[in-house]
Amino acid sequence: MKLIIILVFYSLLLCSPVAHSRMFMNDKMMIMNANPDKLPSDCPKISEEVNLTIRAGHKHALKFTGKMFAFDQQEWNVKPCAKINITFINDDQIRHQIMVHGLPGYLYPDGMVHLELYGEGQLQASFIVPSKKKTYLVHCELPQHAEKGMKAQLKVDGGDGDLPSIPGISAAVNADSYTVDWTFNTWAALVMCIVLGFALPLVLIMNAASLKAIATKLWITLKTRWKIKNQ
């Protein structure tokens, strides 16, 4: 009997969501370091409450050349000491995260807030920013997701400048290079495309009368057959 009780207890423990004081996790999502009410030491009160809906997915990267993933927006501006309520929506069937870095460690372990979805869905969490004028990095930390475009920035009080490699906002530190390997075959293909590009219109112009006669004959034939079929 005791063995059965122990097995049931551990089964419930393993299958239930893991919830610590600053972390919630189950088989579909994870939230770390959410902070809806503890003020940073330099904030006498919350200055404003901002509701942000942030979407993540492949379709949001289509507007950026060479990018695979992105957020639907790449920049947000809030007041000092603002409380930010994030609704994070994953539009893909794969895992995505949103992480805000550079927050004070005495309130946010490792200086970050972390929201994560293991597929399509949404979740919500809140945090409060300090009063310092600063630009915070927002990104997905999964391998290559940030490098492939899933980066943004959160500016407090206008921020202290733009971060590098934010799609549509700032230049990349290491820009993507799409060089061509100029072998004999690639040169031959280029020459062929140029020749055909000039030759085809020329042939069409020189044979315009013949082509018109053929098209007219074909049209008359199709029209005659249609009339016979519908009599």
Residue 111 located in a structural domain = yes
Residue 170 located in a structural domain = no
Q: What DSSP assignment string belongs to 119-183?
A: SSEEEEEEEE--SS-EEEEEE--STTTTTTT-EEEEEETT-SSPPTT-TTTS--SS---------
Residues 106, 213: one domain?
Answer: no
CA–CA separation, 96 and 55 (whole Å): 10
pTM confidence score:
0.69
CA–CA separation, 61 and 13 (whole Å): 39
Please give the pLDDT value at position 8.
42
Rounded (5°) CA angle 18-82-167: 80
Tell me which residue range forms the domain holding 196.
184-229
* Domain total in the chain: 2
Residue 6 located in a structural domain = no
Residue 1 located in a structural domain = no
Please give the pLDDT value at position 45.
97
Please give the pLDDT value at position 124.
96
Residues 115, 52: one domain?
Answer: yes
Q: Which of 137, 156, 175 is the last residue of a domain?
A: 156
CA–CA separation, 47 and 100 (whole Å): 19
User: Quick one: how far is CA 185 from the chain centroid?
Assistant: 37
Residues 37, 88: one domain?
Answer: yes
Let me know: does 88 contact 54? Beta carbons within 8 Å: yes
Residues 212, 103: one domain?
Answer: no
Residue 120 located in a structural domain = yes
CATH number at residue 122: 2.60.40.420
3-state secondary structure of 58: helix
List, for the chain, all residue ranges whose pLDDT scores fall below the cut of 70: 1-21, 176-178, 231
